[in-house]
Protein backbone atom coordinates (compact mmCIF):
# COMPACT_ATOMS: atom_id res chain seq x y z
CA UNK A 1 0.00 0.00 0.00
CA UNK A 2 2.71 2.42 1.05
CA UNK A 3 4.94 1.44 -1.89
CA UNK A 4 1.95 2.02 -4.16
CA UNK A 5 1.52 5.53 -2.66
CA UNK A 6 5.27 6.20 -3.13
CA UNK A 7 5.11 5.06 -6.73
CA UNK A 8 2.15 7.24 -7.42
CA UNK A 9 3.85 10.25 -5.74
CA UNK A 10 6.98 9.68 -7.86
CA UNK A 11 4.82 9.28 -10.98
CA UNK A 12 2.95 12.50 -10.18
CA UNK A 13 6.30 14.32 -9.63
CA UNK A 14 7.63 13.06 -12.97
CA UNK A 15 4.47 14.10 -14.73
CA UNK A 16 4.76 17.65 -13.37
CA UNK A 17 5.98 20.11 -15.98
CA UNK A 18 9.44 21.65 -15.31
CA UNK A 19 7.76 25.07 -15.35
CA UNK A 20 5.30 24.12 -12.64
CA UNK A 21 5.64 26.44 -9.58
CA UNK A 22 5.48 23.42 -7.22
CA UNK A 23 8.43 21.72 -8.95
CA UNK A 24 10.46 24.96 -9.07
CA UNK A 25 9.91 25.64 -5.34
CA UNK A 26 10.63 22.03 -4.27
CA UNK A 27 13.84 21.85 -6.37
CA UNK A 28 15.03 25.29 -5.14
CA UNK A 29 14.39 24.37 -1.47
CA UNK A 30 16.11 20.99 -1.99
CA UNK A 31 19.21 22.59 -3.54
CA UNK A 32 19.38 25.22 -0.73
CA UNK A 33 19.05 22.52 1.93
CA UNK A 34 21.76 20.34 0.35
CA UNK A 35 24.14 23.30 -0.02
CA UNK A 36 23.61 24.51 3.55
CA UNK A 37 24.23 20.99 4.93
CA UNK A 38 27.41 20.81 2.81
CA UNK A 39 28.70 24.22 3.94
CA UNK A 40 27.92 23.70 7.66
CA UNK A 41 29.47 20.20 7.63
CA UNK A 42 32.62 21.61 6.01
CA UNK A 43 32.76 24.41 8.63
CA UNK A 44 32.41 21.92 11.51
CA UNK A 45 34.88 19.41 10.04
CA UNK A 46 37.50 22.05 9.17
CA UNK A 47 37.31 23.89 12.54
CA UNK A 48 40.08 21.84 14.26
CA UNK A 49 42.38 22.32 11.22
CA UNK A 50 41.61 26.06 11.23
CA UNK A 51 42.41 26.34 14.96
CA UNK A 52 45.65 24.44 14.42
CA UNK A 53 46.63 26.83 11.59
CA UNK A 54 45.81 29.85 13.80
CA UNK A 55 47.97 28.45 16.63
CA UNK A 56 50.84 27.87 14.17
CA UNK A 57 50.53 31.41 12.76
CA UNK A 58 50.69 32.73 16.34
CA UNK A 59 53.77 30.67 17.13
CA UNK A 60 55.47 31.85 13.94
CA UNK A 61 54.85 35.52 14.78
CA UNK A 62 56.13 35.03 18.33
CA UNK A 63 59.30 33.40 16.99
CA UNK A 64 59.73 36.25 14.47
CA UNK A 65 59.56 39.02 17.09
CA UNK A 66 61.83 36.93 19.31
CA UNK A 67 64.36 36.85 16.45
CA UNK A 68 64.34 33.04 16.54
CA UNK A 69 62.33 32.15 13.42
CA UNK A 70 64.02 30.07 10.72
CA UNK A 71 61.95 28.88 7.76
CA UNK A 72 63.96 25.65 7.47
CA UNK A 73 63.56 24.63 11.13
CA UNK A 74 60.73 22.80 12.88
CA UNK A 75 58.56 25.39 14.61
CA UNK A 76 57.69 23.20 17.61
CA UNK A 77 61.41 22.68 18.27
CA UNK A 78 62.18 26.41 17.93
CA UNK A 79 59.30 27.23 20.26
CA UNK A 80 60.85 25.13 23.03
CA UNK A 81 63.25 28.05 23.62
CA UNK A 82 60.29 30.23 24.61
CA UNK A 83 58.65 30.15 28.03
CA UNK A 84 54.94 30.95 28.29
CA UNK A 85 53.75 32.70 31.47
CA UNK A 86 50.34 34.14 32.42
CA UNK A 87 49.89 37.68 33.73
CA UNK A 88 46.92 38.95 35.75
CA UNK A 89 46.24 42.28 34.02
CA UNK A 90 44.42 43.71 37.06
CA UNK A 91 47.14 43.11 39.67
CA UNK A 92 50.09 43.14 37.25
CA UNK A 93 51.38 39.89 38.84
CA UNK A 94 52.53 36.72 37.20
CA UNK A 95 50.26 33.74 37.84
CA UNK A 96 52.24 30.92 39.47
CA UNK A 97 53.23 28.35 36.81
CA UNK A 98 51.11 25.57 38.43
CA UNK A 99 48.13 27.84 39.18
CA UNK A 100 45.49 27.59 36.45
CA UNK A 101 43.31 30.71 36.80
CA UNK A 102 39.52 30.58 36.46
CA UNK A 103 38.78 32.10 33.04
CA UNK A 104 37.53 35.64 33.68
CA UNK A 105 36.50 38.19 31.08
CA UNK A 106 37.03 41.92 31.56
CA UNK A 107 34.32 44.00 29.86
CA UNK A 108 35.67 47.43 28.97
CA UNK A 109 33.93 50.72 29.65
CA UNK A 110 33.45 52.58 26.36
CA UNK A 111 35.76 55.44 27.42
CA UNK A 112 38.62 52.99 28.13
CA UNK A 113 38.12 50.86 25.03
CA UNK A 114 40.44 52.79 22.73
CA UNK A 115 41.45 49.57 20.92
CA UNK A 116 37.77 48.90 20.05
CA UNK A 117 37.72 45.32 21.33
CA UNK A 118 34.89 45.43 23.90
CA UNK A 119 36.30 42.76 26.21
CA UNK A 120 39.26 40.45 26.75
CA UNK A 121 40.48 37.84 29.24
CA UNK A 122 41.85 39.00 32.60
CA UNK A 123 44.72 36.48 32.48
CA UNK A 124 46.80 36.79 29.33
CA UNK A 125 49.78 34.72 28.12
CA UNK A 126 53.09 36.46 27.59
CA UNK A 127 56.33 34.92 26.34
CA UNK A 128 59.84 34.96 27.83
CA UNK A 129 63.01 34.72 25.76
CA UNK A 130 66.27 33.97 27.58
CA UNK A 131 69.80 34.82 26.44
CA UNK A 132 72.58 32.97 28.33
CA UNK A 133 70.01 32.03 31.01
CA UNK A 134 69.05 35.68 31.53
CA UNK A 135 65.52 36.84 30.76
CA UNK A 136 66.22 39.27 27.91
CA UNK A 137 62.90 39.76 26.10
CA UNK A 138 59.21 39.92 27.05
CA UNK A 139 56.74 39.31 24.22
CA UNK A 140 53.25 40.70 24.73
CA UNK A 141 50.19 40.09 22.54
CA UNK A 142 48.28 43.01 20.95
CA UNK A 143 44.80 43.14 19.44
CA UNK A 144 42.73 46.09 18.24
CA UNK A 145 40.68 47.60 15.44
CA UNK A 146 42.29 49.10 12.34
CA UNK A 147 40.19 50.81 9.66
CA UNK A 148 38.45 47.73 8.28
CA UNK A 149 39.46 44.84 10.49
CA UNK A 150 40.76 43.52 13.79
CA UNK A 151 44.56 43.55 13.80
CA UNK A 152 46.59 41.00 15.78
CA UNK A 153 50.18 41.59 16.79
CA UNK A 154 53.02 40.99 19.20
CA UNK A 155 55.50 43.42 20.69
CA UNK A 156 58.89 42.32 22.01
CA UNK A 157 60.20 44.49 24.85
CA UNK A 158 63.67 44.63 26.37
CA UNK A 159 64.08 43.66 30.03
CA UNK A 160 63.68 47.34 31.04
CA UNK A 161 59.98 47.02 30.11
CA UNK A 162 60.22 50.26 28.13
CA UNK A 163 62.22 49.64 24.94
CA UNK A 164 60.72 48.02 21.83
CA UNK A 165 62.98 45.33 20.38
CA UNK A 166 60.57 44.26 17.63
CA UNK A 167 56.90 44.41 16.67
CA UNK A 168 54.69 42.46 14.31
CA UNK A 169 51.18 42.92 12.98
CA UNK A 170 49.47 40.00 11.28
CA UNK A 171 46.04 38.45 10.61
CA UNK A 172 44.15 41.57 9.51
CA UNK A 173 42.20 42.68 6.46
CA UNK A 174 43.45 46.24 5.89
CA UNK A 175 43.71 47.31 2.23
CA UNK A 176 46.71 45.86 0.35
CA UNK A 177 49.19 48.66 -0.46
CA UNK A 178 47.59 51.01 2.12
CA UNK A 179 46.72 49.81 5.63
CA UNK A 180 48.27 46.38 5.08
CA UNK A 181 51.70 48.08 4.99
CA UNK A 182 51.65 47.62 8.79
CA UNK A 183 52.82 44.07 8.02
CA UNK A 184 55.80 45.27 5.98
CA UNK A 185 59.13 44.26 7.63
CA UNK A 186 60.62 47.66 6.64
CA UNK A 187 57.93 49.58 8.50
CA UNK A 188 57.97 47.23 11.50
CA UNK A 189 61.77 47.73 11.72
CA UNK A 190 61.16 51.45 12.37
CA UNK A 191 59.77 50.51 15.83
CA UNK A 192 63.06 49.00 16.96
CA UNK A 193 64.63 50.94 19.87
CA UNK A 194 61.60 53.20 20.41
CA UNK A 195 60.62 53.99 24.03
CA UNK A 196 57.09 53.54 25.37
CA UNK A 197 56.76 55.93 28.31
CA UNK A 198 58.67 59.13 29.01
CA UNK A 199 60.54 60.14 32.16
CA UNK A 200 57.31 60.84 34.05
CA UNK A 201 55.71 57.54 33.12
CA UNK A 202 53.30 58.97 30.53
CA UNK A 203 52.56 57.01 27.34
CA UNK A 204 54.55 58.66 24.53
CA UNK A 205 55.00 56.07 21.78
CA UNK A 206 52.92 56.76 18.66
CA UNK A 207 52.79 56.52 14.90
CA UNK A 208 52.88 60.08 13.57
CA UNK A 209 51.67 61.50 10.26
CA UNK A 210 54.71 61.94 8.01
CA UNK A 211 58.36 61.33 8.88
CA UNK A 212 60.01 61.50 12.27
CA UNK A 213 62.38 64.46 12.71
CA UNK A 214 65.54 62.90 14.22
CA UNK A 215 66.31 66.24 15.95
CA UNK A 216 62.92 66.29 17.73
CA UNK A 217 62.73 65.68 21.51
CA UNK A 218 60.02 63.11 20.69
CA UNK A 219 62.04 61.16 18.12
CA UNK A 220 62.68 58.32 20.60
CA UNK A 221 58.92 57.75 20.90
CA UNK A 222 57.73 58.36 17.34
CA UNK A 223 57.37 56.07 14.31
CA UNK A 224 57.02 57.27 10.68
CA UNK A 225 53.42 57.29 9.42
CA UNK A 226 52.11 55.31 6.47
CA UNK A 227 51.14 57.55 3.58
CA UNK A 228 47.47 57.05 2.62
CA UNK A 229 46.89 54.83 5.67
CA UNK A 230 46.63 57.24 8.58
CA UNK A 231 43.42 55.62 9.82
CA UNK A 232 45.01 52.17 10.12
CA UNK A 233 48.09 53.77 11.71
CA UNK A 234 45.85 55.52 14.28
CA UNK A 235 44.30 52.13 15.06
CA UNK A 236 47.80 50.74 15.65
CA UNK A 237 48.69 53.62 18.00
CA UNK A 238 45.44 53.12 19.93
CA UNK A 239 46.01 49.37 20.18
CA UNK A 240 49.57 49.87 21.49
CA UNK A 241 48.37 52.55 23.95
CA UNK A 242 45.64 50.26 25.23
CA UNK A 243 47.77 47.15 25.72
CA UNK A 244 50.83 48.92 27.14
CA UNK A 245 48.66 51.31 29.17
CA UNK A 246 46.91 51.14 32.53
CA UNK A 247 44.02 48.86 31.44
CA UNK A 248 46.31 46.44 29.63
CA UNK A 249 49.83 45.44 30.71
CA UNK A 250 50.47 48.83 32.39
CA UNK A 251 50.42 47.50 36.00
CA UNK A 252 52.67 44.58 34.98
CA UNK A 253 55.13 46.81 33.09
CA UNK A 254 55.26 49.28 35.99
CA UNK A 255 56.50 46.40 38.19
CA UNK A 256 58.98 45.24 35.53
CA UNK A 257 60.44 48.76 35.31
CA UNK A 258 61.03 48.77 39.08
CA UNK A 259 61.83 45.12 39.90
CA UNK A 260 63.02 43.66 36.58
CA UNK A 261 61.27 41.26 34.18
CA UNK A 262 61.13 38.29 36.60
CA UNK A 263 59.45 40.35 39.29
CA UNK A 264 56.46 41.67 37.30
Ligand X SMILES: Cc1cc2nc3c(=O)[nH]c(=O)nc-3n(C[C@H](O)[C@H](O)[C@H](O)COP(=O)(O)O)c2cc1C
Q: Which residues here bind ligand X, judged by CB under 6 A?
A: 147-148, 174-175, 178-179, 227-232
Q: Cβ distance 221 to 198 under 8 Å? A: yes
- 216 vs 227 by CB, closer to ligand X: 227
Q: Measure Cα distances from 137 to 42, 128, 176, 223 in Å.
A: 41, 6, 31, 21
Q: Measure Cα distances from 15 to 4, 11, 19, 131, 151 in Å.
A: 16, 6, 11, 80, 57
- 19 vs 186 by CB, closer to ligand X: 186
Q: For the chain, how many helices (H) and strands (E)? A: 6, 9
What is the nearest approach in angstroms of ligand X to the Cβ of residue 260?
A: 38
- 175 vs 183 by CB, closer to ligand X: 175
What is the nearest approach in angstroms of ligand X to the Cβ of residue 173?
A: 9
Number of Cβ atoms within 10 Å of the Cβ of 23 = 13
What is the nearest approach in angstroms of ligand X to the Cβ of residue 249?
A: 26
What is the nearest approach in angstroms of ligand X to the Cβ of residue 58?
A: 23
- CA 222 to CA 90: how far, in whole Å? 28
- 69 vs 170 by CB, closer to ligand X: 170
Q: Which residue is nearest to ligand X, using beta carbons?
A: 179
Amino acid sequence: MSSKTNTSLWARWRNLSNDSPTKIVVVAVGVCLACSILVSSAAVLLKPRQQENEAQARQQEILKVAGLYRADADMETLFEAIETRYVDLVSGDYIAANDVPTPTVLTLAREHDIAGIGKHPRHVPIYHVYENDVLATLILPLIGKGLWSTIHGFVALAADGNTVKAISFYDHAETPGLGSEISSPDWQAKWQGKKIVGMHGHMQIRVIKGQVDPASHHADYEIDGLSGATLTANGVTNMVHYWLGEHGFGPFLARVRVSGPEGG
